[in-house]
Amino acid sequence: MRTLRWLLVPVLVLPITWLLFQGFGRDPRQVASPLLERPAPAWSLTTLDGEALSSEDLEGRPYVVNFWASWCVPACVDEHPVLAAAHESHGDAIPIIGVLYQNAPADAQAFLDRYGNAGYAHLVDERGSLAIDYGVTGPPETFFVDAEGVVRARQWGPLTEETMDAYLALITPATAR
Amino acid sequence: MRRWLPIIAAGCLLAVGALVVVGSLTPRAQPSIAERADALAAELRCPDCQGLSVADSPTSSAREIRRQIDELLAGGATDDEVRDHFVARYGNWIRLAPAAPVVWVLPFVVLIAGVGLLALWLRTRRTPIAGPLAAVDAEKRRRLREEVESLDA
């Protein structure tokens, strides 16, 4: 009985303590997206330039959906050149679609004026319904959709050149690279 | 007191069971769409808050989720269909209360097991320890008394 009581410490207490400590290092919002390997949400919105754009216009091409905001500092500022560079090297072959997350169009425009406008489209998601369809918890968050319209990857937090290249490789056929 | 513990534990168990049965048998009025929307908003997490429900949050995400709840319910969706709509987007994370029944049952199982173990432990402790007094013989007692008296002196 006495040894049994001492066994309680390694058998019960230690694993539970370990399990609880595991949680400290993780952001609870960083859960796996249920959208992965599923068809991407469809949308039809207006861009910052006032043009109509819908997911149907992108059919047959892989694309990147990047939720951002001018108030998302420094993360959105940090990843901004990464997105611009990707747009520069892939152009219309892999459209990048920015989506304003709880951001006034004027503020977003000021951000682009300040940090550089690479020229890809930014959607005004006024009600935030596209962010909800994508299950976004806060910017920056980026989704990678392949040519079949299936979500292949999600980046939670800012993109780096390395993560961008790795995710783009997931959505482009080997011959295209 | 100790001998009453298992009886008290059994009584508590019976009372909880009776409450559950009575609660499930009592007929309830059909809630209105607004009441259902309120209840659903209270059990869904506001995606850009820290531990707040959609009902408790003023952010635009929370407002949009609330608007979608209203729209889905008005369109004839059941409560489960509304929950599934958001779980399909955010995963189970969006639900403030866990969906797995084991999480609700486990604390009661642990509580009952704890009370049972405590009762068992108290019972074994109650058993008198046999013969320690008899082991001290007359010679030892005399020596002990002498030592104690020498200490007092």
Q: What residues pair up with A124 in beta bridges, in sequence order?
A: A46, A100
The token duo for A134 is 């994508």
Residues of chain A with C-beta less than 8 angstroms from the C-beta of B86 = 132
Whole-angstrom Cα Rg for chain B? 31
- Looking at the complex, does the CB of residue B67 fall below 8 Å from at least one CB of chain A? yes
Q: Looking at the partner chain, which of A31, A32, A137 has a beta carbon nearest the beta carbon of B48?
A: A137
Residues A125/A97, Cβ–Cβ less than 8 Å: no
Residues in chain A closer than 8 A to B61 (CB atoms): 102, 128, 131-132
pLDDT at A127 > cutoff 90 = yes
Between CA A22 and CA A37, with CA B96 as vertex, the angle to 5 degrees is 75
0.80 exceeded by the pTM? no
- Quote the CA–CA distance of A27 and B17 in Å, as a whole number: 38
> pLDDT over 90 for what percent of chain A?
78
Q: Please answer yes or no on whether B61 and A134 come within 8 Å at the CB atom.
A: no
A67-81 pLDDT, tens digit each:
999 999 999 999 999
DSSP state of A122: E
Q: How far apart are CA B86 and CA B70, in angstroms?
A: 13
CA-based nearest residue in chain A for residue B46: A137
- Please state, in angstroms and rounded to a whole number, the distance separating the CA atoms of residues A145 and B128: 74
**8 Å CB contact of A32 and B65:** no
Looking at chain B, the number of H-run helices and the number of E-run strands are 6, 0
pLDDT tens, position by position, B71-118: 999 999 999 999 999 999 999 889 988 777 888 899 999 999 999 999
Cβ separation of A127 and B64 shorter than 8 Å? yes
Strand order in the sheet with A96-100: A52-54, A44-47, A122-124, A96-100, A63-68, A141-145, A151-156
Residue B115's CB: how many other CB atoms inside 10 A?
Answer: 17
